[in-house]
Amino acid sequence: MHQFTPMAQPVPRTSDSSSIAETWADRRVGITGAGGELGRALTRRLRQRGAWVVALSHRHKPTELNSLTGPQEWICWSCGKEEQLDSTLRGLDLLVLNHGINPGGDQSPESLNKALEVNALSQWRLLQRFEQLERNLPPDRCPPELWVNTSEAEIQPALSPAYELSKRLIGQLVSLRWSAPRQERNKLPKLRKLVLGPFRSDLNPIGVMSADFVAGQILWQADLGLPLIIVTPNPITLLAMPLIELGRLTYNRFLWTNRRDP
């Protein structure tokens, strides 16, 4: 997967910084779905490392928010109004797309539409806006990063057809962006995909992993420079996901064209 090679190098905060702590110190991190279990766990972990966390949530700011472990900023937004976040996105070093819903077995058109909108289309719009923003970064600042939580439901059953469908869609879209020519990708934020197994949350109260464990694994693998971050106890996903991405990359690059509108 030669496309992943340039993204697999750890990126320091400055040209003479090497420690993990300095990598995250003072970086501005925006997290959608920040009010959920994983969002809160990532916030705690990132704040411990010195990051400034901006919560991007559909929920209103809690009346009681821990000033030491909670996000320093809280911004409410709604799917379909992604353009209202432009000023916030422009100031971020990292955007984590983590929001989502799980309708379970509900397969009504309304539930399908909502799952596709929240889990896939709104994330795709935010991904595009974050990529297209113009930034004037000082030379000692590392390029911005974009992490997308697709879930292992992208390739495995999750007992929720609407959830699986929406996760497959956003997963395929991320794979398409990975397949862009190197000269194009080098001008864009570094893109990482988070493929996560079942962890305990409001969406999945019987998950086998804790959200804090998953958050720790995500940051550890990110510090290693991995573009494809997989956290799951399922060996099938660990083996199959890299092969699937290799197949997608080969297929997409073989057929790549970029016809621009006149």
Distance CA 209, CA 35 (A): 18
Q: Which ranges of the chain would DSSP assign to H, the alpha helix? A: 20-24, 37-48, 86-90, 109-116, 122-132, 161-178, 182-185, 211-223, 235-254
Catalytic residue chosen out of the listed positions 24, 163, 178, 199: 163
Mark whether 251 is an active-site residue. Answer: no
Backbone angles phi, psi at 55, to 5 degrees: -80, 125
Note the helical H segments in 13-73: 20-24, 37-48
d(CA 3, CA 250): 10
Separation in Å, CA 236 to CA 85, 94, 155, 213: 38, 30, 10, 20
Alpha carbon distance 8, 178 (integer Å) = 13
54 three-class SS: strand
Q: What 8-state DSSP symbol labels residue 120? A: I
Please tell me the distance from the alpha carbon of residue 262 to that of residue 259, in angstroms, as a whole number.
Answer: 9
- First-last CA distance in the chain: 33
Q: Which distant-in-sequence residues (6+ apart) come within 8 Å of 231 by Cβ?
A: 194, 195, 196, 197, 209, 214, 217, 218, 221
Q: Counting beta carbons within 10 angstroms of the beta carbon of residue 198, is it exposed (0 to 12), middle (13 to 18) or buried (19 or more)?
A: buried
Residues with catalytic roles: 163
